[in-house]
Structure 1
């Protein structure tokens, strides 16, 4: 039997846990929420309540060698570098104590600068990358057999873009959408784990980049939501993040190639 560990089992992590459980894997997961821990356990997942901001041992089974570990512990703008340093030291310490074959860290395309330009995984101007996100990536990349997935804006199921702009003034409508659907995130991660891709950095983003205002209007129509009160463009930088590397490697076909399809 194969084994998967998910550290920081949020929205993506929970769906990934269900996917791999359906494939016959044994799944372990950590969450900061008691309610989610009980839900995961009721689904047959070995779940722990654990907060990596606290100095607390994570009692993972040392006799198990995990075929894959997925870390989805966030690095957010509200955290100081000192706080993030402690958080990711705790993650590093937990993973250093167990045996695993491959490790995948879920980061964000927000690491690329908010300026005009097209960005892929070869972009290496470190001084222009978002400091806190890049700090977390580098800390995690010091672990062996680690790959970083930089996810685009994530939507699907009940997470609908237009929902956040009902009756509001939209200032970002003229920006390109660097988004991805949950189903495609799961498909790409699954393919990467199954094919044991080489370590590196990969962008997970739809191949098409319509303007955000068009995505808002299309999803408002589709889900019968209120339209925005208006559009007043500000900070309309044309930032496009390309995610061709991993799909080409996996020969993957997107279920939702455009955010207009969500």
Structure 2
């Protein structure tokens, strides 16, 4: 039986866990939430309550070799660098103690600077990139067989962009949307695990980049949310992130090529 380990089983992780469980894989997962712990266990997932911000050993089974590990613990901007360093050092130590074939760390396209530019994985200016996200990425990339997936803004199911702007003034409407749908992230993770893609950096983002204003208006109309009170553009940088590298590698066809389709 194949084995999947998910560190930080959040919204995406839980969807992934159930998808692989349906394939007949044995799934292991950590969460910080007691309610989710009981829900995962009741569904036959080997669950642990574990917080990587706290001291303590994660007692993963040393006799199991995991076919794939997904680390979905965030490098939050609200945390100090010292907190993030400790968090990812503990994750690093946990992964050093087990055997696995592939490891994927879920990062964000927010690592790229907010500039008028098109970005891909070869972007060279380390000093311009988000230091907290890069701290986490570098720590994870120091592990063997690791790929970093830089996700676009993640939407799908009940996570709808227009929901967050009802009756509000929108200042970012002129910016391009570097988004991706949950189903496409799951599809590209599945394809990557199945093909054992080479380790490295990969952007995971829709090929189309309509303006955020267009996405808000379209999703508000589709899901019957209140429109924003107004659009007052500020900081209208034209930042577009390309996910072509991974799409081409997997020969992947997006279910939702544009955020207007979400």
- 1:101 matched to which residue of 2? 101
Q: Quote the offset at 1:37 in angstroms.
A: 0.5
Provide TM-score, normalisation by structure 2: 0.99
- 1:38 matched to which residue of 2? 38
Query: For residues 248 and 24 of structure 2, what CA distance do their matches in structure 1 show?
Result: 27
- 1:191 matched to which residue of 2? 191
Q: Quote the offset at 1:140 in angstroms.
A: 0.8
Deviations 1:171-202 (A, max 9, x none): 00000000000000000000000000000100
The secondary structure found in structure 2 opposite 1:70 is strand
Q: Quote the offset at 1:10 in angstroms.
A: 0.5
Query: For residues 158 and 124 of structure 1, what CA distance do their matches in structure 2 show?
Result: 36
Q: Quote the offset at 1:143 in angstroms.
A: 0.6
For residues 78-89 of structure 1, the aligned pairs below 5 Å read 78-89=78-89
- 1:131 matched to which residue of 2? 131
Q: Quick check: 1:47 aligned with 2:47? A: yes
For residues 105-254 of structure 1, the aligned pairs below 5 Å read 105-254=105-254
Query: For residues 89 and 41 of structure 1, what CA distance do their matches in structure 2 show?
Result: 27
Query: For residues 124 and 29 of structure 2, what CA distance do their matches in structure 1 show?
Result: 33
Task: Please identify runs of 4+ aligned residues in structure 1 that moved more than 6 A.
Answer: none
- 2:9 matched to which residue of 1? 9
The secondary structure found in structure 1 opposite 2:40 is helix
Q: Could you list the runs of 5+ residues in structure 2 that have no partner in the other structure? A: none
Q: Could you list the runs of 5+ residues in structure 1 that have no partner in the other structure? A: none
Query: For residues 131 and 124 of structure 2, what CA distance do their matches in structure 1 show?
Result: 13
Q: Quote the offset at 1:124 in angstroms.
A: 1.9
Query: For residues 30 and 204 of structure 1, what CA distance do their matches in structure 2 show?
Result: 24
Q: Quick check: 1:66 aligned with 2:87? A: no
Query: For residues 47 and 115 of structure 1, what CA distance do their matches in structure 2 show?
Result: 41
Query: For residues 260 and 56 of structure 1, what CA distance do their matches in structure 2 show?
Result: 44
Q: Quote the offset at 1:247 in angstroms.
A: 1.1
Query: For residues 78 and 163 of structure 1, what CA distance do their matches in structure 2 show?
Result: 23
Provide TM-score, normalisation by structure 1: 0.99
The secondary structure found in structure 1 opposite 2:106 is strand
The secondary structure found in structure 1 opposite 2:101 is strand
Query: For residues 233 and 150 of structure 1, what CA distance do their matches in structure 2 show?
Result: 26
Deviations 1:140-179 (A, max 9, x none): 1111111000000000000000000000000000000000
RMSD over aligned CA atoms reads 0.4
